[in-house]
Structure 1
Amino acid sequence: MSEPILTLTDVVVAFDALRAVDGVSLTVPRGQRRAIIGPNGAGKTTLFNAIAGAVPPTSGKILFDGHDVTRLPPHRRAQLGISRTFQITNLFPTLTVQDNMILALRGLSPRKFSLFGSSDTDATEAPRIAAALTAARIGERANVIVKEMSYGEQRQLEIAISLVTTPTMLLLDEPAAGLSPSERSMIAEVIRSLSRDITVVLIEHDMDLALGLVDYVTCMFEGRVLVEQPPEGIRRNSQVQEVYLGKPRHA
């Protein structure tokens, strides 16, 4: 097993008396595809928010790529290589795909502070944007206004935006939510084709999709890690069936 890129130790996120994340410890090896599953209210998105920096842990430690990021704000974690998508699309609908990509790329650059910056891409930005759009299978859609795209294409654009900053870890929060079967297949193809230089951690309620994409699964229940196993073990695990997939029926 390769060295870990992400290590959580006894992470707690509490909102008053509610422990949304209750002492979670886990390790994600570099290059792994990891799914975090569990029923609604299990703490999955809160855990994502703690990893990305959107909410501070009440206690515990988060290490990313050798750095203690427990108290770092989201933009510092992004600069270290953490990128994420959200359950709900988070785009500029009246701008083009290209403009959305430029804004994302410059969000981590000193150029964002320039009042006289150009909207044109420079020699380093253009190939990065083109590569990210190609990876997301929307390379030919650069000049399209975002609101004119299908919802599936907008989800692909979100993945492209998360890739353009060349992350080393990608957090995907329900990337196939609200998509048709054909759109889910396209998202699965995009994720499956990502370089193993990028570690992928995803939350996904479509179990067939999630288990078909990942190497390892963490199942959460009531804020805690219930079980961690490869996908085939998860399919057969009676605890997972009971709390998430539903109890198996008997003939």
Structure 2
Amino acid sequence: MTNSILSLQNVSVTFGALRAVDGVTLSVPAGQRRAIIGPNGAGKTTLFNAIAGVVPISSGTVQFDGVDMTRFTTNKRASLGISRTFQITNLFPQLSVQENIRLAVCGLSRRKFALFGSGQSNPAEKEAIDLALENSQLTAQRNTEVKTMSYGEQRQLEMAMALVQKPKLLLLDEPAAGLSPAERVKMADVINALPRDLTLILIEHDMDLALGLVDFVTCLHFGQVLTGGTPDEIRVDEKVQEVYLGKPRHA
């Protein structure tokens, strides 16, 4: 994992006088699994949105897979191979799991512009649907109506829909938010089982979950990179303990 797939150089995002992201520089190797952590207001979601193109970058540059995408739209970035999930699910509750995924697959095809033609999936689309079901561990729920599913299963479905475009980089915004302990374990299993050549960046407030899923951690504080390291290094880092995990108590 020596080649960087994502590189940020001095990236800042401002909202009026507020500097939500302040001169962030980082490099993510291809295939790495990285967590972005930090206290509330540290700039984590804003940084995610800057990578995905949801908010404009005030200064700095963002490169993805060798392409400067600093001024690219979200659609253009998605076409390069970036996909993401959100903190709040946005699904079609009256449709089945398979039908939700099929809509995501069709959204990638030129067929979405056709007013006429067969409504059936072609072989390539069927293959993409089956793979997304398998990767999200929802094959058994293929024909289940979304409205009858648990919230944890709906989060898995959202991930399946993000995976249909076969992204190079998957951004997971608090994938375990609102889940029960059992659902968190299941979500961790799903993430751990994803292909290792898929680069992952996640925001997650459950530190035990986050540190158990990733190879590297970047800690933000007041919009800046406070430190970075392996999960084991982050667990014992005094700066992280002070601003986020809480100072250890000594007898």
Q: TM-score, normalised by structure 1?
A: 0.98
CA distance in 1, matches of 2:152, 2:16: 37
Q: What displacement does 1:198 show?
A: 0.6
Aligned to 1:25: 25
Query: Structure 2 unaligned runs (5+)?
Result: none
After TM superposition, the structure 1 stretch with the greater mean CA deviation from structure 2, 115-124 or 155-164, is 115-124
Is 1:79–1:108's contact at 8 Å kept on the other side of the alignment? no
1:92 partner SS: coil
Aligned to 2:37: 37
Are residue 204 (structure 1) and residue 199 (structure 2) matched?
A: no
Q: What displacement does 1:96 show?
A: 1.5
Equivalenced residues, count:
251
Q: What displacement does 1:98 show?
A: 1.4
Is 1:50–1:57's contact at 8 Å kept on the other side of the alignment? yes
Relative distance call for 1:67 and 1:240 in structure 2 (3 A) is: same
CA distance in 2, matches of 1:232, 1:119: 51
Runs of 4+ in 1 over 4 A off after TM superposition: none
After TM superposition, the structure 1 stretch with the greater mean CA deviation from structure 2, 230-239 or 66-75, is 66-75
Q: TM-score, normalised by structure 2?
A: 0.98
Aligned to 2:4: 4
Query: Structure 1 unaligned runs (5+)?
Result: none
Q: What displacement does 1:117 show?
A: 4.5
Aligned to 1:132: 132
Q: Which amino acid aligns with 1:31?
A: G
The alignment yields a C-alpha RMSD, in angstroms, of 0.9
Is 1:36–1:44's contact at 8 Å kept on the other side of the alignment? yes
CA distance in 1, matches of 2:117, 2:168: 28
Q: Alpha-carbon deviations, 1:176-209, whole Å to 9, x = none?
A: 0010111101110111111122100000000000
CA distance in 1, matches of 2:117, 2:11: 41
Q: Which amino acid aligns with 1:98?
A: Q
Equivalent residue runs for 1:94-105 within 5 Å: 94-105=94-105
Q: What displacement does 1:113 show?
A: 1.1
Q: What displacement does 1:108 show?
A: 2.3
Q: Percent of counterpart pairs with the same letter?
A: 64
Aligned to 1:122: 122
Equivalent residue runs for 1:168-179 within 5 Å: 168-179=168-179
Aligned to 1:79: 79
